[in-house]
């Protein structure tokens, strides 16, 4: 079985090939979405550059809820159609899944994921949780029987702490009518935090993208960038703690996403802003100390999950997957 795996986010798209369910690392390519007019153009480019003669199956993970054969991305004005993918890839076996469902499926093969420890709890048999910040935010859980629980947690409301977080909430609520986790736990949320921090300092913001803010903040070259990074890491830690109390993931918590990885200096270590916020659950602090947390340090996890998905029992759940003959 030769399968095409794809992880399509709001900013980048990643492609890879799998043989009998295992990802070929040499086949993995990441492309910026801004280079292409739509997903079909990106797919044609990859298949042409990789000289892919044909595939038996295509599994595409999307940053959007899955409900039907045509899906619109949440954070980009692209529409993805199973029929178009089938025509371009030359296969009638096309599966669309949510990107965090793919990451949840990847946890069934956690030994194949490149990770770095964040907090030293001991993982055991049980629920596994994956969450992360990138263009937006989401999470999913893999339960012991192999079912992946689909969710749109990023679109729940953001409950800020007083100070800079409240200013951030008011900023997004003023623009969009409400403030969700997807707005704040993201690259755009980080840039907004940085601009608010600069405003407090009485200086003009010099940085205009999340990569620059994390680089300057982690390098200690910009105090306002460092404040923004630390604040976002704390917000992410608090949210991860809330989800840990919701799912009780004894099997481990996995952090993913481009923004999450860029914030690693503010996440790793027992005294990091992330760890302090994660553990700050009052009477539940001792419980929180028992969870194992790992940072997923490469971008291939969702591709691994795409290839694992067909073997899991949750592969026909509405809201998680669109499959069947095209």
- The matching CATH number, chosen from 3.20.20.70, 3.30.420.40, 3.40.50.300, 3.90.550.10, for 2-98+306-322 is 3.30.420.40
The domains of the chain are located at 2-98+306-322, 115-297
Helix boundaries (H) for the chain: 39-49, 82-89, 99-106, 164-176, 181-184, 187-201, 210-218, 223-247, 258-262, 264-267, 273-279, 285-288, 301-308
For 24-80, the pLDDT digits (tens) are 999 999 999 999 999 999 999 999 988 887 899 999 999 888 988 999 998 899 999
Distance CA 3, CA 166 (A): 46
Mean residue pLDDT across the chain: 93
**Mean pLDDT calculated for residue range 201-210:** 96
Pick from 20-29, 156-165, 227-236, 305-314: least confident: 305-314
Q: Going by CATH, does the domain composed of 115-297 fall within 1.10.600.10?
A: no
Give per-residue burial for 202-227: e unless 16+ CB within 10 Å, then b.
eeebebeebeebbbbbbeeebebbbb
* Confidence tier at 146 by pLDDT (50, 70, 90): confident
For 97-113, the pLDDT digits (tens) are 999 999 999 999 988 89
pTM: 0.92
For 155-186, the pLDDT digits (tens) are 999 999 999 999 999 999 999 999 999 999 99
The alpha carbons of the chain give a radius of gyration, in whole angstroms, of 19
CATH topology identical between 2-98+306-322 and 115-297 = no
**Both tokens assigned to 248:** 């009780």
């Amino acid at each position: 079985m030769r399968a095409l795996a794809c992880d399509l986010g709001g900013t980048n798209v990643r492609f890879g090939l799998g043989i009998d369910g295992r990802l070929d690392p040499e086949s993995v390519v990441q492309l910026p979405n801004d280079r292409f007019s739509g997903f079909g153009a990106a797919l044609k480019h990859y298949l042409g550059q990789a000289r892919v003669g044909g595939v038996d199956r295509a599994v595409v993970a999307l940053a959007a809820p899955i409900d039907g054969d045509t899906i619109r991305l949440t954070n980009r004005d692209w529409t993805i159609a199973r029929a178009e993918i089938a025509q371009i890839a030359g296969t009638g076996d096309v599966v669309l899944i949510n990107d965090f469902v793919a990451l949840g499926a990847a946890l069934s093969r956690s030994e194949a994921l490149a990770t770095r420890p964040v907090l030293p709890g001991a993982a055991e048999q049980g629920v596994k949780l994956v969450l992360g910040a990138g263009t937006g935010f989401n999470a999913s859980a893999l339960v012991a029987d192999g079912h992946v629980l689909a969710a749109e947690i990023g679109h729940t409301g953001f409950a800020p702490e007083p100070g800079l977080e409240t200013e951030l909430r008011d900023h997004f609520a003023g623009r969009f009518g409400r403030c969700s986790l997807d707005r704040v736990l993201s690259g755009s949320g980080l840039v907004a935090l940085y601009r608010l921090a600069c405003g407090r300092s009485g200086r003009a913001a010099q940085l205009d993208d999340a990569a620059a803010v994390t680089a300057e903040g982690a390098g200690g070259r910009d105090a306002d960038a460092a404040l923004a990074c630390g604040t976002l890491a704390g917000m992410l830690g608090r949210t991860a703690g809330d989800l840990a109390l919701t799912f009780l993931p004894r099997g481990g918590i996995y952090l993913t996403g481009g923004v999450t990885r860029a914030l690693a200096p503010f996440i790793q270590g027992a005294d990091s802003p992330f760890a302090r916020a994660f553990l700050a659950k009052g009477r539940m602090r001792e419980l929180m100390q028992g969870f194992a947390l790992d940072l997923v340090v490469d971008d291939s996890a969702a591709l691994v999950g795409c290839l694992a998905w067909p073997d899991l029992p949750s592969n026909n759940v509405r809201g998680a997957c669109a499959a069947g003959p095209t």
